[in-house]
Structure formats: C-alpha cells, structure tokens
Amino acid sequence: MENLEHLIKEKKLEQLIKIYTPEALVQSLSFTKALILSKSLLENENWDSDLQKFGIDLIEKLKQLNSLEWNKNWKHEAYLAYAYEVLGWDIEKEFDSYSLAIQKSTNPPLELAMHMALLWSYPGIYKIKMDEETAISILEKVAQKIPYMEAVGGLIRLYDATNQSAKATYWKNILTESEKKDLYDKRTYLDFFKDYE
C-alpha cells in the first residue's frame, strides 16, 4: 500500500479514496492537511463526481471529529456550503451551511446571503426557509452594491416569476454590463486556504 503522503503529493486521488475512508483520513492527517485534501478532491482536474462526493464526506467528517478547530472560523462553514454547491446534490444542506456561516460571522459578506437567496425555489426551502419576497430583497441589496451576474440573473428570474416585467427589463440591461465585466462572486471568503497552503 502506497504511503498516504505520497498519494496526496502525487495527486493519486482515485487510489486514495479506494484505500482510505474519510474517517481514517481525518484521524491520520492534521486538520489543515485534511481540509486542503478535501479541496483537491472537490476541485479535481476532471471534476469527477465520485471524488467530489468523497471530498464532501471528508469535510463533514472533519467537522464532526474536529469541531473545536472547525468552529474557530465561520469560513469553514461557508466552504462546506460551497462544497455542496459544487456537487449540487443537497440543496437544503447547502442553504443551511450558508445560513450557519452567516450566524457565526460577526460581519458576514453579502455574497453568502446571495447564495442562499438563489436557492429560494427548491423543495424544502420554498416557503419553509425563504420565499420570493425575501429572495428579491436580498438579491436587490447585493445587486445594488455589486451587480454580480448571479444576483442579477436571480433577480431577473424572480421578477419574471412574479410578473414584474419592467423590473426584469431594467435588470436585464444591468446583466449585460455585468457579463461584459465578468462580474461574479470570486468567493474571497474562502481566502483562508492561502494561509493553509
């Protein structure tokens, strides 16, 4: 069996997930190394969904077994939300993780609320955790500050869904400008990885 550090260094991720369980990795690696590994799995070269799913399992196990370290930084929760978003497999968990990141932060970035608002229509969220009016309010606040393509596109869909065609038309013009500037959420709240690598 190849050495764990060698597998990580050589990015032999397919082999790694066949040999180790997420729990074994959390027990074998430092918190930081396990978190960095999870990001490699999540953003693997081929965007392989099996590796991404394993990456999410690793993050969840890291949160469960290293809760003290996990809770030191609200950005860990934002990262977990991002992980769910990458795979798109559990929208409710994605929503709840963004919500928890907001609760844990003393000055949460508007982008976290934006990502929550974009999920307003999904089963388990719609009318239970968020409705059209709340989503519109959040996305307007974000788009007026920084017209991210995500926020503006979400607003247009919401205005179309609620028959507010004049507002949809207004934001379509803004979206054209945002697209020209390639203005999207760069996820600066995941900058903590720079300190780890």
* pLDDT (tens place) for every residue of the chain, 197 residues total: 468 999 999 999 999 999 999 999 999 999 999 999 999 999 999 999 999 999 999 999 999 999 999 999 999 999 999 999 999 989 999 999 999 999 999 999 999 999 999 999 999 999 999 999 999 999 999 999 999 999 999 999 999 999 999 999 999 999 999 999 999 999 999 998 887 76
Cα 53 → chain centroid: 14
Closest C-alpha among 57, 131, 124 to residue 95? 124
- Whole-angstrom CA distances from 43 to 52, 66, 82, 126, 127 are 7, 22, 11, 29, 33
Which pTM value belongs to this model? 0.93
Q: Tell me the CA end-to-end span of the chain in Å, nearest whole number.
A: 26
In the structure encoding, which two tokens stand for residue 94, read together? 């994605």
In the structure encoding, which two tokens stand for residue 5, read together? 């550090």
Cβ atoms within 10 Å of 130's Cβ, excluding its own: 20
Closest C-alpha among 21, 24, 14 to residue 50? 14
The C-alpha angle with vertex 196 and arms to 184 and 30, in degrees rounded to 5, equals 130
Q: Please state the φ and ψ torsions of residue 124, each to the nearest 5 degrees.
A: 90, -15
Q: Which residue has the tokens 């307007």?
A: 140
- Could you tell me where the DSSP H helices lie in the chain? 4-9, 13-19, 22-28, 31-42, 49-65, 67-70, 74-87, 91-104, 110-117, 132-145, 149-161, 165-180, 192-196
In the structure encoding, which two tokens stand for residue 150, read together? 């995500």
pLDDT in tens, 52-72: 999 999 999 999 999 999 999
Q: Tell me, what's the pLDDT at 197?
A: 63
Q: Tell me, what's the pLDDT at 2?
A: 62
113 with 138: CB under 8 angstroms? yes
pLDDT in tens, 70-87: 999 999 999 999 999 999
Q: Tell me, what's the pLDDT at 196?
A: 74
Q: How far apart are alpha carbons 129 and 92 in whole angstroms?
A: 10
